[in-house]
Structure formats: C-alpha cells, structure tokens
Structure 1
Amino acid sequence: MKPVISIGAQDFTYIRSHHYFYIDKTSFIKEWWEYGDAVTLLTRPRRFGKTLNLSMMEAFFSNQIAGRGEMFEGLSIWNEEAYRRLQGTWPVLFLSFAGMKGDTYETAREGIVQIIIDIYAKYRFLMDGNALNEQEKEYFDFIKPDMSDAVASMSLHRLAICMNRYYGKKVLIFLDEYDTPLQEAYVYGYWEKLVSFIRSLFNCTFKTNPYMERGLMTGITRISKESIFSDISNLEVVTTTSEKYETAFGFTEEEVAGALEQFGMSEFLEKVRYWYNGFRFGNRRDIYNPWSITKYLDGKKFSTYWMNTSSNKLVGRLIREGTPDIKIAMEDLLAGKEITTMLDEEIVFDQLDESNEAIWSLLLASGYLKVDSIAENEEEEELYQLSLTNFEVKREFRKMIRKWFKNTSVRYNDFIKALLADDIDYMNQYMNQISLQTFSSFDTGRKPSEDAEPERFYHGFVLGLMVDLAGQYRITSNRESGLGRYDVVMEPLNRQGQAVVMEFKIFNPIKEKDLNETVENALQQIEDKKYDTELMARGVAKENIRHYGFAFEGKKILIG
C-alpha cells in the first residue's frame, strides 16, 4: 500500500502518529549527540527539512514527550539500546523564527517578543511548587508585549534557569530559521537596528548561559560572526560545503529511488534526476530538495515547486539591481555555463550591494547555485566553479526575470515581436514607456535614476530577451568581437534567421547635439569595431545582420 503524503506537515510527532510518508533522518540525532559541540549553527536552503528535523530532535530529547518511543520504532535510531534509554530525558526549549517576516523593525521585534511570550506561557507550570524562588517566579510577569530590550535579551536565559531548577538538568536549546528576520531586515532597510537586538538575545541565550547543555540553530545563511555572533566563541558552523551532516538534510539519490519505487514510479527516475538533482552538501553530489520530491510524488507532475515556496525578494533584488558583471554572469548561468569566483561563506549583508562575491555566496547558501569544482589561483586562493543547481532552478530564474517586466503597461513580448519585425517606431514607443516604469529598479538605488548609468537597465533588459527568445537565439552581451566589446548580440540558432547587434550609448552634450547624433555614433561604432565578425565566423551571412543604436539621456531613449 502506498504511503500518504501530508503536504506541508513539519511536525515529526504528527507525521509519525498518522503514519504519513517519512524518510528516516534519525541518524542525525546520533551524529549530533556524539559530536558533542556546545552550539551548532547548521545552514541549508529553504525547504530542506530543517524544521522537521528540529521537531524530530525535540520529540526525541524532550522530557515532555517521554514514553513515546513508538514514534521511533522502525527508524534507525531505535536500533540502539543506548538511544532508546536517552529518549525523553532532557528539558528542551524549541523556538522557530520561520514566520518572522515584517517590513519594519517594530513589526519584527514584536514578532520575536510574541514568540518569547508564547514559550513562557507554555512553561508557566514551572511556577507550581517550590522549585523556583519568588524572584524567579516574578520574572514571568516581566514577559509581556512592552518588555524592554534588556528583559527580552535575558528572557531565554532566565527561562533556562527556571527549567534547570525544576528538572535538575541543563537545557537543550533549539532555534529554527534564525536568519529569517535578519534577511527581511536587510530587504526592508532596518538591518542595523535588528542586528543589535538579536546579537544581545543570542549572546545571553547561547554564550553566557551555564544552564544550557547544548544549542542547535538552523538557517539558510551563515551571517558574519561580526554581525551577530561576535561574542559566541563556542559556535560550530556547518555550511553546505562542510562534510558534517552531509545526508541529514535533503534526500539522497538512494532515498529518492526508494520513494519512487514505493509509489510505483521508478521509471521516472532519470527525469526526476534531471529536474531536481544537483544539490551538493560536503562531498555528496546526489542531494535532492525534499519539498520538490514530495510534491512530485503527490501530484505526479514535473513543475517548479521548491522556488515557489516563499518570496525570492532578496535574490531578485540583488540580481535586478546588481552590476553589469552580475547580469553578464547570469547570462552565462542561464546558458548552462559555469562562472568562476572566490567565495566567503560568511555572508556580510552590508557588502551585498557592493561585492559580487557576497552575492554568489548568498546564492550558493540559498541553493540556487552548486559547486562543480574548486581550484587555486597563483596566490593559493580558492576559486569556485559554480553553475545553476538543476533544471527547476533554471526554470524559476526565467520566471523571475519575466516578472521584472510584468507590471509595465505594455507587454514585453510585444517589444520582442517589434524587434524581430524591425518595427523601430514601436520599439521606440515601448522602450520609452518601460524605461519610465522600470529604470529605477535597475539603478543602484543610491542616486536619482536620471543620473544612473544605463548599464544596469539594459543588462536586465538583455536577460529579459534571453528568457523570451530562448530556443530561437543565442544572446550574449559585453563580449569581444572584432576590434572591441559589443553590447548585445542576438545570434539566430537557425542560420537563415536575422541576427541583431545592439550598441548602447549615453548622450554626451559636449560632443553631440541630440540623441539622433548619439544613435549615429552608436551605429558607427558597430561598423568601426567590426562587431559582426563573430557572427560571420559562426556562419551568419552579412546581409542577415541588423544593427541598432540605443541612445540614453536619463529616462529618454532613442533607437535607430
């Protein structure tokens, strides 16, 4: 009989008690316990079972779930007598920041405070009897919506004291998705304020807390030590490139093959591999996203499940507003190529607007990119070869790029049709409308759009071309041909089709009288620099190559 899949269920006890589909990850319990690290920060992309695994850890260790060994019967951890005796013997504090998404600091802080209030309510029974003194009991009354930062920072520390008094044992502290509110803080511009609050909370909870036996945090990113972990010297960080816990999160190829067999779908393994395989943790290159696999098993349809699970605001913003180099690299990635870069897995959010390396590090941590290989340069610095993780990720990036133009009053594919039909009048009409509506999305955000260089705009525009003309054209930008570097080349995959070369120029009032002259200079540059050379070398006839000059003056554009 096929197991039933409970879509979205992340509570271990609920899944096991209802006998829903579950792939055994209980070896993580033993692995984590035997490493003995004081505080572990374990990063994995979204929907990789972080919440379910922490729920499993709570169900195994918590003395509030003692005597429920039947939940683990048939799972690997239950094969060892020592661990059967360990189940349900520790006081556990389990919190999750997964739902902490707010567009203001006040909203984010209020959400975290409410989590603290809720967990105090859960353990209010600690005040029964004589285990706590009067001062410790009175502290429960300080935990309220208008509590000060000082009280909030010490709250989990003080609760650990009370649990230690009550149970006579130190506390295990589990925190899920620690970085969700921090990513939101960066996106909405209140990073510094929230970092200060969370740094103090984490320091009191995980560093200066003699009542904690061990701590375990999960998240997507490894946020820089200087930002929030500066005082936590006992932190063991495990990222996607670490060899620890390689198979504890995500499904392996063997597990996916077994699941397909359970559901009578083994013949689709090769296509499942093409769509969803590609994540790499440590030395394991055969990791699948659990959400995509369970959704596929449930619906029996290939689709982009994983990247639809939550907002891609941060990733979209970093690519859309990124430098031309970022967009050129995205062109290569979407074309199935690798990029080579140095990486620092410690994400410094303050540098995301300025550092390409920081952006690639974030995309790797978030699961959009995978490491194909690592080499060293002459200075013995590590260089990472990165590519898009799998077909599902590639499909979703294309959808993301389309959305950049979706909210304009004119349809992007109408411009494509005009371009292919050589309808310059409509091309001009469209580009002037879309530049007014979207130009500010592609500049740096630190100066008026009228003064911004157009490179960010037109490279975003090129990515849009790549998406809508995939299968018909090979589109590249800022590459060498002839005697210089062209701006955009559209090479038809059908050699009988029309090729296009585009040159973008900013109006220079000192040298040019108007945009018409700027257009003429752009067209002349295409001729002088022999930008047709690469196209003709690849078999495109000279008469099948069209030239366009794009002239920019602020948000005004003229095409000729």
Structure 2
Amino acid sequence: MLRKLPVGIQSFEEIRSEYIYVDKTKYVYELINSGKVFFFSRPRRFGKSLLVNTLKCLFEGRKELFEGLWIYDKWDWDEKYPVVKLDMSTFTNSTVSSFETDLKDSIFKLYENFGVPVGNPKVSPKKLIQNLIESLKEKVVVLVDEYDKPILDNVENRERAAKMRDYLRGFYEIFKSLDEHIKFLFITGVTKFSRVSLFSGLNNLEDVSLYPRFAALVGYTENEIIEYFKDYLEGVDIEQMRYWYNGYNFLGSESVYNPYDVLLFLKSRKFDNYWFETGTPSFLVKVLEERQEEPNLARLENATITSSMLDAFDVHVLRIEPLLFQTGYLTIEEEISDFEGTRYKLRVPNYEVRKSLNKELLFSYLKAITPFEEEELSNLTKKAMIEGNVEKFIESLRALFGGLPYQTHPLVKYEGYYQSVLYAYMNGAGFEVIAEDYTSRGRVDLTVKLPKIAKVKGPVYVIELKVVESEPEGKALKQIKEKRYHEKYAGEDVYLIGVEVSKSLRGVVYAEWEKVSSTPP
C-alpha cells in the first residue's frame, strides 16, 4: 500500500500508522548516547516538533512504533522514563500573565497524566514543575519544543519581548537545579538566544545545532528523498527541485531540503513558494529599516560572520545576519577557521528563498507598489529580457523607479537604497543576479541572466546604476565600456546598460545601452 505524504504531521504515532517516515533514529540514538542536556535550533517547518515527539515515544518505550526502523534492535526497551513535554507554541503569548496562565494549565495536565496530586496550585509554574519532577521518584526526560515562540511572537514589541525573555529565563533555570532527577533534556526552537540573555541559569546546555554529525537530524537529504519518496518521484525534474528547495547547510556532508517544501511540491507537482508563504518576515524588514545605515542587500546575502556573532542574538541586539541565518533566509556557504577563530560565510539557500525574500524586501522599499503591479511589471521585464528588447526593459525600469517613495522610507537618503531596489526587483522577478560582479578591471553593479532552470538561454545584461542629484551625467555606460566589464562574458550575447536615477526627482533621468558582439576577441 502506498503510504501518504506526511504534510503537517507532527505526531510520531500518527506518521508511523499510514504516512512515509524518513528514518532519523540513527541520529537520535547517537544524540542520546553522546550526552544529557542539549539545545538544537532550526528554521520553522523543518521537523523539530516531529523530532521531539519521536524522542517522547522512544523514552516511553513504545516499541511497536519503531519496528523496522534503524534503532529497533539497538534500544533497551525495558527501560522506560516519564516524559515531561512542554510545547511553548500552544500558549497565549500576548502578555506574560496570559502565557503564565496557559503554562500552568499545561503543567496541571502533566500532574493529571502522571497521577500526582497538585498540592498548592497557586505557586509559580517553576515551582510546579519542580514539585512534579521531584515527586516522580525516578529519572525524568524533559522536552521543550518551540522554547522561543513567546519571544518571537512579540519581537516587534521589544519591551514585551524582553519581559517574555526574562520570564522564560527564570523558568528554564529550574532545570539545572533538577539535574540529579533528569535523564535527558532537549530544548529546541528557531532562534539561538545568547546564553547570557536566556540560558544564564542553564549554562550546562550543549548546543549541537552546528555539529556536523547532527546536520541531518531534521530536514531531508536528497538521498533520503530518492530512497523514501521514490513512488512520488516519477516525472519529477530532480535538478529543478534541487534548485528550488535544496541548499540548507548546517556543516554536514550533505545539504538538506526543508521537508515542508518537498512534501507540498510532491503533492501538488507544482513549484511554488510553499515554505516562505507560511510566515512573511515582516519583523526582518523592520529590523533592516531600523539599522539606519547604507543598505546593501547583495553584501548582506553574502555576509561573513564570526561564531560569536551567531551567539549574540538578543531582543535588544537584533543583528540582521544571525537573525536571517537562524530563521532560514541565509545558510552557511563555508566555514573558515584560522588564527582569528571560526567564521561563517553565508548565502541564500535556494531559488525559493532568494526570489521570495527579495520580493518581500522590494515591497518594503517601494511602499506604494502592490503585489499585482509588481507581478505585471515583472512579467514585462521577463518578456523583454528573454527577447533582448532593451528598450522595453528600460521602460520597465522607469516604471519601477517611478514608484519610489517621497521621504516615506527611512533609507531613501542612501545611494545603496536605489541599488538595493534594483537588486531586489531582479531577484524577485526570478533572474540570476550577480551583484558587484568582479572583473579584472573592477566590478560592475549588476550582471543579470536568466536562471539556470529557464527553458531558454537569454542574453547577459551588464548594468551600471549611477545615482545623481537631479541632472543626468551620462557616465554609467561610459564606465562599463572604459572598464570593459563585458569581456568576462565573451562568447555570449551581452547588452551593456547604463542607468542614472535622480535622488531629487525620484526616477530614471537617463538610460542608454549598447549590444556587444558575441564573438570572442
């Protein structure tokens, strides 16, 4: 019988009944046998909740659910442990008070499940959990899912988020004092708050988020997709699927796919922005605007950060690079270790994220443009570029920059704002964009091509964007020709385009172009 695709299934018991389960129990076994107190972060929709539920079923000794899996004949099924599982995503997070009420109700249910009398119900959740664990008279497994959800739900209100953080810090610290009663502790979520800000009282946590051997603890590798979903892969263009959805790197030997994307694609047989559309990054856009510095999306998407920067995330220190990484909009391109320590070069993981994130940023830059208008303009641009109709392409750029806001965006005073608008627009339209494209004679602002998955091969567009105060200067195309930036693409049809945008007039005031021969010199 063909097993179903497990779209949205977070229950290990349910998934084992009639759905495909990608066997992660080898990683689980290694994790359990490598320590006791763990922290693990991954972006949303990556399978963290299913992992937590798998751990719960394993420690409860539900042997029948694991038949046929890697761990089945290696686990001691005679050993069973009470499991205290807390899912922070199920609580009301609008205020600390409402969150505390829901947290207490959840702990009361645990008392009921274990058949333990509550005693004084008016004590704090921290005291309630302490009394429960101590009363069980045996080693306990503690699993905390979505530990940071109460904070992230309030991240746009820094004061409220800080109150949630402080409350959770006080709650989580109780687990260290209960160490002698705990068999295994596992905390998971999206972000990695610094130990000082959130886990100062639980400083014995081992963060395994970037341990190479646990890189595929959640998510699907391509080999796993081919092995477990072979019945659903007939007619699927694997290369195109890889381009759209693969690319997340957590320092393992293989990159991984976001399971949510894979499952919905295999179900619908259509490529779309499934993961991105489950949660638009409005707070990321707000953080970018709050930086009040020269915007440069290209450099942001190719940033290099230190390992300590990844740990510097806090409510009042929202560094955009680690935030983009932890939430899944950037991933690791390369780990660099030398005398300076460890650094990570970042990149956008795949086509879906690059296209969708840039489109979202474009809407924030051009606050007046609607999704319908953007789609219409994008289609005009794509048609023009495929056909090599440069005049139509320039017309679309005039329309694009004609939508610039008048003093309504905090970044319009920066030249990088205009370059970022063009960069976000071309990426959002689905093109392959090389920003600050290096040549032997310097670097050009943008080189634009059709994406690798396009059905046709179009020309290369070398674009230099100049920002002037008001009057055109006619220097953009001249610079491309003098520096001979296009020679890097000898052998291809290349269009050189110089565009000048006026800061005071808020639009394109001059544009010229030239086609160069496709014959190599």
The TM-score range, normalised by the shorter chain, is 0.7 to 0.9
State how far apart, in whole Å, the 1-side matches of 2:259 and 2:108 are: 33
Q: How does 1:232-271 map to 2 (within 5 A)?
A: 232-239=202-209, 241-263=210-232, 265=234, 268-271=237-240
Confirm or deny: 8 A CA contact 1:120 1:159 kept in the other structure: no
Confirm or deny: 8 A CA contact 1:499 1:544 kept in the other structure: yes
Pick from 56, 76, 82: which aligns with 1:83?
Answer: 76
SS of alignment partner, residue 251 of structure 1: coil
Match of 1:30 in 2: 29
Is 2:314 the partner of 1:349?
yes
Q: How does 1:451-470 map to 2 (within 5 A)?
A: 453-455=413-415, 457-467=417-427
Q: How does 1:382-421 map to 2 (within 5 A)?
A: 382-404=342-364, 408=368, 411-412=373-374
Quote the offset at 1:21 in angstroms. 1.6
SS of alignment partner, residue 272 of structure 1: helix
Confirm or deny: 8 A CA contact 2:151 2:162 kept in the other structure: no
1:437–1:91: structure 2 CA closer, same or farther, 3 Å change rule? farther
Quote the offset at 1:50 in angstroms. 0.9
Confirm or deny: 8 A CA contact 2:365 2:409 kept in the other structure: no
State how far apart, in whole Å, the 1-side matches of 2:57 and 2:167 are: 30
SS of alignment partner, residue 178 of structure 1: coil
Quote the offset at 1:309 in angstroms. 2.9
Amino acid at match of 1:188: N
Q: How does 1:104-143 map to 2 (within 5 A)?
A: 104=94, 106=95, 109-124=97-112, 137-140=118-121, 142=122
Match of 2:49 in 1: 51
1:5–1:109: structure 2 CA closer, same or farther, 3 Å change rule? farther
- More moved, 380-389 vs 410-419: 410-419
Q: Report the TM-score, using the length of structure 1 for normalisation.
A: 0.73
Confirm or deny: 8 A CA contact 2:354 2:427 kept in the other structure: no
1:101–1:463: structure 2 CA closer, same or farther, 3 Å change rule? farther
- More moved, 252-261 vs 320-329: 320-329
Q: What are structure 2's unaligned runs of at least 5 residues? A: 382-389, 451-456, 510-521
Match of 2:162 in 1: 192
Amino acid at match of 1:85: D
Pick from 233, 242, 248: which aligns with 1:273?
Answer: 242
RMSD: 4.1
Is 2:47 the partner of 1:94?
no
1:396–1:234: structure 2 CA closer, same or farther, 3 Å change rule? same
Amino acid at match of 1:346: D
Match of 2:193 in 1: 223
1:51–1:438: structure 2 CA closer, same or farther, 3 Å change rule? farther
Q: How does 1:427-442 map to 2 (within 5 A)?
A: 427=398, 434-436=404-406, 439-440=409-410
Quote the offset at 1:297 in angstroms. 2.8
Is 2:350 the partner of 1:362?
no
Is 2:340 the partner of 1:380?
yes
Quote the offset at 1:432 in angstroms. 7.1
Confirm or deny: 8 A CA contact 2:362 2:421 kept in the other structure: no
Q: Which has the higher helix share?
A: 1
1:459–1:185: structure 2 CA closer, same or farther, 3 Å change rule? farther
SS of alignment partner, residue 60 of structure 1: helix
CA offset digits 1:269-311 (Å, max 9, x no partner): 4443333332223332242222222223322333332223334
State how far apart, in whole Å, the 2-side matches of 1:455 and 1:438 are: 16
Match of 1:69 in 2: 63
State how far apart, in whole Å, the 1-side matches of 2:158 and 2:98 are: 17
Quote the offset at 1:549 in angstroms. 4.2
1:181–1:347: structure 2 CA closer, same or farther, 3 Å change rule? farther
State how far apart, in whole Å, the 1-side matches of 2:446 and 2:213 are: 45
Match of 1:533 in 2: 482
- More moved, 365-374 vs 52-61: 365-374
Match of 1:447 in 2: none
Is 2:142 the partner of 1:173?
yes
1:20–1:545: structure 2 CA closer, same or farther, 3 Å change rule? closer
Q: How does 1:472-487 map to 2 (within 5 A)?
A: 476=435
Match of 2:259 in 1: 290
Amino acid at match of 2:43: P
1:229–1:455: structure 2 CA closer, same or farther, 3 Å change rule? farther
Match of 1:2 in 2: 2
Confirm or deny: 8 A CA contact 1:186 1:349 kept in the other structure: no
1:536–1:15: structure 2 CA closer, same or farther, 3 Å change rule? closer
1:531–1:257: structure 2 CA closer, same or farther, 3 Å change rule? closer
SS of alignment partner, residue 78 of structure 1: coil
Pick from 31, 39, 42: which aligns with 1:41?
Answer: 39
SS of alignment partner, residue 324 of structure 2: helix
1:10–1:474: structure 2 CA closer, same or farther, 3 Å change rule? closer
Match of 2:514 in 1: none
Quote the offset at 1:228 in angstroms. 0.8
Pick from 499, 515, 519: which aligns with 2:470?
Answer: 519
Confirm or deny: 8 A CA contact 1:238 1:244 kept in the other structure: no
1:111–1:19: structure 2 CA closer, same or farther, 3 Å change rule? same
Q: What are structure 1's unaligned runs of at least 5 residues? A: 144-150, 444-451, 506-517
Quote the offset at 1:435 in angstroms. 0.8
Confirm or deny: 8 A CA contact 2:84 2:110 kept in the other structure: no
Q: Report the TM-score, using the length of structure 2 for normalisation.
A: 0.78
Confirm or deny: 8 A CA contact 2:333 2:345 kept in the other structure: yes
Q: How many residues align?
A: 486
CA offset digits 1:180-225 (Å, max 9, x no partner): 2223333332332222111101112344554333311011222111
Confirm or deny: 8 A CA contact 1:207 1:234 kept in the other structure: no
State how far apart, in whole Å, the 1-side matches of 2:255 and 2:111 are: 42
State how far apart, in whole Å, the 1-side matches of 2:483 and 2:157 are: 44
Amino acid at match of 2:258: N
State how far apart, in whole Å, the 1-side matches of 2:221 and 2:449 are: 40
Confirm or deny: 8 A CA contact 1:12 1:55 kept in the other structure: yes
1:433–1:360: structure 2 CA closer, same or farther, 3 Å change rule? closer
1:121–1:434: structure 2 CA closer, same or farther, 3 Å change rule? same
Amino acid at match of 1:72: F
